[in-house]
Amino acid sequence: MPKRRSVVILCLLWGVGLLFTACRSYLKEFQTAEEPRLVHRIMPNPQPYAGDPERGFSYMTTGDYISGGVPIQFYEESMATFTDTVLRREGDNAHMTYDNIAFTMPSGTKVVSGSCFTCHATPFLDTVIFGMGNSQLDFQENFSRRFNLAMVFLKRKLGKNSDEWQAFDLYRKMVGGAFTYIHTDNPGVNPAFRLEEGYALHRDPVDFSYEKKKQFEISNFNIASDTPPLWNVKKKDALYYNGMGRGDFTKQLMQAGIQGVPDTTKAREVQQKFADVLAWVEALEPPAYPKEIDQALAAKGKVLFQENCKKCHGTYGENETYPNKIIPMHEIQTDPLYAQFMLKGSYLPTWFNESWYAKSPPYAEQKPSNGYIAPPLDGVWATAPYLHNGSVPTLEALLNSAIRPTYWKRRGDHTDFDFEKVGWAYLEEPDGKDEKTYDTTLPGYSNKGHYFGDELLETERKALIEYVKGL
């Protein structure tokens, strides 16, 4: 691994603090949130764009949508001999990992920042899949300490009065401040909204100017989630697990860029270019299951799927349908704290709805709900771990709650995939956990709920899994 890469990547994660310290009264407040009693559909939300997918992918891998970053001098020694063999980019980007971008700011300063693909691409089996959520990240460490050490090094290298340091100043303030709040209690989960809440904390919502004074109070409560695949966006009328991302998807998808944009003029430029990014997202297809599927068994599974799953997850093949349903807590029974935190514990939706994002055309809004959207299942075989919090390692365990491990960790790297159980090969840790172990006893990370497969026979579960492998 190139020298200093681990420090730099941690410093530049954008799509993604304090130790989770929520007291009982705080959790109780979430749990008494008003709960919708009925399954309800989200209204259709067609996106009025005709972007160019190739141009969108180019912007995601070489563009300046973060608008700020670390001066490229920080990379000179460690990356000079590194070659991008994944994207095969040219110029300064030829020496960047696929999840970083080098670009030139208006001041003429060359900088490097993280890209969309820090969180939305991942090594998987023998390749890197762009658009798949990266569940191999680990935010359990307090990144602000590493960031501050990196800043001491960079300040000495550049000098505090240099043009490079001055160009870097806003990005440094935003990223360093946000890192205070994103420390998670489990590996593999992504605190993206917590990161964005940290960015908004010092931004005037109207013009995006940096304010030293906090714009709102931020709690010590931290919650994170699994990162969903981007290829399902084209089927959705609202984004995010709780369906709160309403209206214009370009604004919803570009939110993390607020870490570097200096003002709303730059934000508008980014938003317009995200029409191409959205086109790329909507053109994505899930990876095909790489092994042979027992078609006779899958046919039996399709019948079971139609009887038990399609009303929430839709239909597949010819004449596909997707209902865009929010399932209330009393029915889904999965861990409620993520939805309840966004509904009552986070100021981010309020800030968004008072900001340029919501107050300028096109319409965009964040509307949290106390439930979760039943997601499309395209490529579901590749998207382990399962549930919104990534607490279940395999499809087999998702459909049979009795065998879900309480403490588990991956057995190996991104090539160690269990094709029989369909998900990550894992080890159970019945006597406790280490830093690589997922602990489902923690608030917000329970593996309970989604009991819809429990009543099936074992043979029926196998048939159902065989069918969804091909979705």
The amino acid occupying position 340 is Q
Q: What is the pLDDT of residue 4?
A: 45
| 385-435 pLDDT tens trace | 999 999 999 999 999 999 999 999 998 888 999 999 999 999 998 766 788
Q: What DSSP string runs through 27-88? A: HHHHHTS----S-EEPPP--------HHHHHHHHHH--TT---EEGGGGHHHHTT---TTT-
Contact 20, 185 (CB under 8 A): yes
d(CA 169, CA 165): 6
- pTM summary value: 0.89
As a whole number of angstroms, the distance between CA 468 and CA 471 comes to 5
Give the largest CA-CA distance in the chain. 70
pLDDT, one tens digit per residue, over 17-65 is: 323 333 334 444 444 444 556 667 888 888 989 999 999 999 999 999 9
Question: For residue 369, how many C-alpha atoms fall within 13 Å in the half-sphere facing its CB?
Answer: 25
CB 147 within 8 A of CB 401: no
Considering the chain, what is the average pLDDT of its residues? 89
Question: Which residues, other chains included, contact 361 with Cβ-Cβ below 8 Å and sequence gap of 6+?
Answer: none
- The tokens for 418 are 């269990």
What gap in Å lies between CA 311 and CA 323, rounded to an integer?
A: 7
- ∠41-279-319 over CA atoms, to 5°? 50
The string of pLDDT tens digits covering residues 105-150 is: 988 989 999 999 999 999 999 999 999 999 999 998 877 888 888 8
pLDDT, mean of residues 179-192: 91
Pairing of strands 70-71, 110-114: antiparallel
Please give the single-letter amino acid code of residue 268: R
- Taking only the tens place, the pLDDT of each residue in 292-316 is 999 999 999 999 999 999 999 999 9
Backbone angles phi, psi at 202, to 5 degrees: -120, 25
DSSP string, 403-434: G--SEEEESSSTT-EETTTTEE-EEE-TT---
Q: Give which of 443, 435, 233 is closest to 340, Cα–Cα.
A: 443
Residue 394's φ and ψ, nearest 5 degrees, are: -140, 160
Per-residue pLDDT at 35 = 54
Q: Hey, what are 452's tokens?
A: 């819809």
DSSP letter (8 states) at residue 391: -
Mean pLDDT calculated for residue range 176-186: 87
